[in-house]
Amino acid sequence: MTRIYIIDDDDAVRESLSMLLRSEDFNVSAFANPLDFLDKIVDSKDGCIILDLCMPQMSGMQLMDELRKLKITLPIICITGHGDIPTAVKALKIGAIDFLEKPFDSTMLIDVIRTSISMRMNTQHIDDFNAYAREMIASLTPREHEVLEGMVEGLRNKQIAYDMNISIRTVELHRVHVMEKLNAKSLSDVLKIAIASGFSYVDSPAVSDDNKQVI
């Protein structure tokens, strides 16, 4: 039986998501406290974890580290109301399968859950996606590639423009082209594809908590 674990300290979000997923015939275990969750978690081939990145007792990142230590292989879908690119990049880098920014369309969450579960069942799926991602990235012009690098580093358009010595409007135009070419609906799609393509992402000290940018 597919079981979905929900870890979120916001009661309304946790309860509503539980009800939503139950209505979709998932088994749901919801936790307000990550430590309670770590006590109860059982690894299985089926199911996934929906994790709020921002919680008082333990941050989502720390929890993911703990899960890796516990060798839990369940796919992790990160949700956050406080999304910024570096956080998203970091989450995806340390093993999250997807990243959703609140508020999100519930059908999208259900899709992501279904996809992640089925992808895990079929590893070919992952390879296919990686190949698809590499192909997409290859279609970018060098300029667009450069802009994408900046986006992945969490730079603002202004900063990208400055670094590339072009106007902000040109950067904006390149961004639109990047989104179109990668068939991405959101920034997290862009990041997912970039990471899947093995994008040379460097966890540079410049991209730290001090330098947040809202996406």
Partner 1 sequence: MNSRITLYLTSDEQLLRYLNVNLSSGVFLEHICNIDELYSRIENNISVPDILVLGIKVQDPIRIAEHTHVISKSTKIIIFCEQKQEATIQESIRFSPFLSSGVTTYIYNGQEVFLNFLQENVNGIEKQRNHVSTIFEVEKDRLASVTNQPLIANYLDKLLDRVPIGILNVDANGKILNLNPSAQRLLQNSERKLVGTYLFNFFPQDSLLAIKNLINEVRKTNNLRHSRTIVCSFEGSSGNQYFEMTVSILMQTSIEPILSVILQEVTLKVQEESKRLVIEKALHESEQQLKLVINAIPELIAYVDRDLKFQFNNKAYEKLFGLSREEITGRNIWDVIGAKSYKVVEQYVMRVMMGETITFEEKVDYPKQQEMWIRSTYVPNFTESGEVSGFVVLTSDITQSKRDEDLEKKHMIELAHTSRMITIGEMSSQLAHELSQPLTSIEAYSRACITLIEKDKTTKTEIIHALTSVSNQAIRAQEIMHELRNFVKKSDSRKNICINELIKSAIKLLRLEFQENDPEIDLNLDNNLPDVFADRILIEQILINLIKNAIEAMRTISVSERRLHIDSSSSSNNEVAVSVQDSGPGLSQYEINKIFEPFYTTKPEGMGMGLAITRSIIHSHGGSLSVRPNSHGGTTFKFTLPVKDIDFIGG
Minimum separation from the CB atom of position 12 to partner 1 (A): 4
- For residues 59-118, which are near partner 1 according to CB under 8 A? 59, 79-82, 84, 101-107, 109
CB of 157 to partner 1, least distance (A): 14
Q: Which residue among 3, 33, 38, 54 contacts partner 1 (CB under 8 A)?
A: 54
The helix, strand and coil proportions of the chain, stated in percent and rounded to the nearest 5, come to: 55, 15, 35
CA distance 202 to 153: 8
**Closest to partner 1 by CB, 38 or 54:** 54
2, 10, 179, 186: residue in contact with partner 1 (rule CB under 8 A): 10
CB closer to partner 1, 81 vs 198: 81
One of 13, 76, 152, 193 touching partner 1 (CB under 8 A): 13
Measured distance CA(84)–CA(153) in Å, rounded: 11
- Contact with partner 1 (CB under 8 A) among 2, 16, 130, 170: 16
The two beta strands, 76-80 and 96-101, are parallel
22 binds partner 1 (CB under 8 A): yes
- Measured at the CA of 167, the angle between CA 164 and CA 168, to 5 degrees, comes to 100
Q: How far is the CB of 137 from partner 1 (least distance, A)?
A: 29
Task: Find all residues with CB under 8 Å of 4, minimum gap 6, and list them.
Answer: 21, 26, 27, 28, 29, 47, 48, 49, 50, 113
Rounded CA separation 181/111 (Å): 22
The rounded distance, in Å, linking the Cα atoms of 60 and 45 is 22
Query: Which C-beta is closer to partner 1: that of 24 or that of 189?
Result: 24
The CB density around residue 9, as the number of other CB atoms within 10 Å, is: 15
Q: Residue numbers of the site for partner 1 (CB under 8 A)?
A: 10, 12-13, 15-17, 19-20, 22-24, 54-56, 59, 79-82, 84, 101-107, 109, 209-212, 214
